Amino acid sequence: MTSRERFLAAMAYEPTDRAPLWDEGIREDVRERWAAEGLPVDDSLADHFTYDARDEVGFDLMPQPDPTPAPDHASLLRQLRTLYEPTPDRLADDWDARAKRWVDRDGVLGIRVWRGLVQPLGVGNFRTLEPAFLSFYDDPDGVAALLSAITDCNVAMCERALRGFTPDYAVFDEPIAGAYGPVVSPDLFRRFCLPQYARLVQTLKARGVRWFLVRSYGNPLDLLPVWLDAGINMLWCVEGGSSGVDCLELRREYGRDLRLIGGIDQNLLVGDGQALDDGFDRVVAPLVADGGFIPLSDGRIRSNVAWPAYRAYREGLARHVSGVSPEGSCAPAP
């Protein structure tokens, strides 16, 4: 199977030759340590391990141009509302040529369509966080108008960008949570974001996209019912394992409506090895057997992970993903 065929079959709970094996990404300083531990400097990791071909593309999701200083946050929101126009320069100059190549592809292709709730409100650091959050209560109409303008832009850009090809999944980035939960309530998120997500999902569905991924951080699970109501059907909680996110429990609670990426707490890669093996047995094995799951470290690989530990992790993945005929072994209890 090609990487694309494998991904599409896995997400549809159909038989595959193996579960997808994605690249989790490594931080820049990691290779320096690994070179000292035996990985040749010129070697690609693909020389040692199997990775499915995958790419994520998208249009410019930022305001154009950057906003200028404003006397208050309400004024900033009004200004930002004018900076989201679906202009041609939001796409790369060679987009149409690349789109022609994407029609007949073997790799998995995702498109980024949403950059989150908080950042578009003008949050760039801790100092700007408070006025942005207060605006939900002091200027709710201004917040709603800005989010609607952003969605108008993103919908128009999706319609323009997807002429001639269909991506395999769409990415909604939502960095809105920490280890103890999301920074906004589910009710507030439902009020302001559900309409935006739903519009984008419907636009993409009309163009043949089937899989809609929320990529969040920490523990955002209080927001999961809102995402499901919007049509989201994939979840990737980066650094979720150390924040109490358990992919096996999510499958038992939500069943096959929710496909999952991750499941391997990145902290297990710096343990004694037995904890990683236990994680493979407890989480990865049953979820791979059930389907709709891409096993992966739940965070980028950091320099505290030794080369032998990374090698053991990737070799463990390879042992657990072969020959998947979904069995439904993680279905919710009746």
Burial group, residue 215, by CB count within 10 angstroms (0-12, 13-18, 19+): buried
Averaged pLDDT score across all residues of the chain: 95
Count of domains forming the chain:
1
Note whether residue 333 is domain-resident. Answer: no
Note whether residue 287 is domain-resident. Answer: yes
Domain carrying residue 77: 3-324
Q: Is the pLDDT of residue 61 over 50?
A: yes
Q: Is the pLDDT of residue 333 over 50?
A: no
Note whether residue 126 is domain-resident. Answer: yes
Note whether residue 332 is domain-resident. Answer: no
Residue 334: what pLDDT? 33
Note whether residue 334 is domain-resident. Answer: no
Residue 332: what pLDDT? 44
Using one digit for the tens of pLDDT, what is the confidence trace for 107-139?
Answer: 999 999 999 999 999 998 888 999 999 999 999
- Highest mean pLDDT, choosing among 19-28, 216-225, 269-278: 216-225
Strand ordering across the sheet containing 234-238: 54-58, 108-114, 169-174, 211-217, 234-238, 259-264, 293-297
DSSP-derived secondary structure letter, 225? H
Using one digit for the tens of pLDDT, what is the confidence trace for 77-106?
Answer: 999 999 999 999 999 999 999 999 999 999
The pTM score is 0.95
Q: Which of 189, 177, 185, 257 is nearest to 217 (CA)?
A: 177
Note whether residue 218 is domain-resident. Answer: yes
Using one digit for the tens of pLDDT, what is the confidence trace for 285-301?
Answer: 999 999 999 999 999 99
Note whether residue 268 is domain-resident. Answer: yes
How many CA within 13 A on the CB side of residue 288?
A: 26
State the CATH number of the domain containing residue 243. Answer: 3.20.20.210
Note whether residue 26 is domain-resident. Answer: yes
